[in-house]
Structure 1
């Protein structure tokens, strides 16, 4: 069952942070590769989902929503650039761990601010029904979006939607050949 938008985004953030923890705490290259792929997949889909669903809701429902949405889109663009760099690194590369740490140094404060301020403000102006509907849209959108970072792609609808729909099948085909964590490893 889908919850409110704040809970849905927090769940995504938790998955991203858990993958990060597994990557930096592991000395096993294969495990790092599997969680690198999951981290990339989760973060890429999260950023696009926010660009297409959450930020337009800020613009529509919050008094300073346009300014906030633009700020978050700029931050997301920086995150996508760092993620593009990280997603191509092999764990044996000496810049692998510093790159993901740098990415999380950018991302962690943004996630906290979204969870503790932006989404709280949004929840206050949405009805339960609207919040749950927004969460469903966010989750549906992630199904059809790319699973890798594409920082050169547009970040506003409708252009991001079109580019996302065109690049998603290519990313998903590549995903077939990537290594992924086993289900039991993800939830431990």
Structure 2
């Protein structure tokens, strides 16, 4: 197995443990066993639990960014980046992006006690704002979409279900509709 494959296997093993037992039960020994590698092999790639969590978050974010990039290659209309952001965030649970979104949400929710673990997420958030605001949408509409998506995502990551399934789908469809708005309100509106 290549180093990249081993790294991904370790990340996937850690995700299994988080999904089945919770972030608090994540140990390096359990991850090594689940991944089928020695603890020394795991430590080569991730020298601490914090490094593993950070690696998991970085991997999830890379999958998410790849999804957005693939989406905007096929969608050339204004609002394409925003639509990719919405669709990537709320992908079906059985999709690659959906699985990674679930892992990322667990990590973000659980990492609140150690903000330094969120550095990759925070750094990417800073890159996403210009991408979203330069997407051909009115800046305030773009920001409204972004923070609405993040708000629902964070609520769900924390286990709060503010909307029933029907209303959640309507909410997401409305956000997608906002990305296609022909009207651009002025700053004075």
| TM-score tier (shorter) | 0.3 to 0.5
Q: TM-score, normalised by structure 2?
A: 0.33
Structure of higher CA gyration radius: 2
Q: TM-score, normalised by structure 1?
A: 0.33
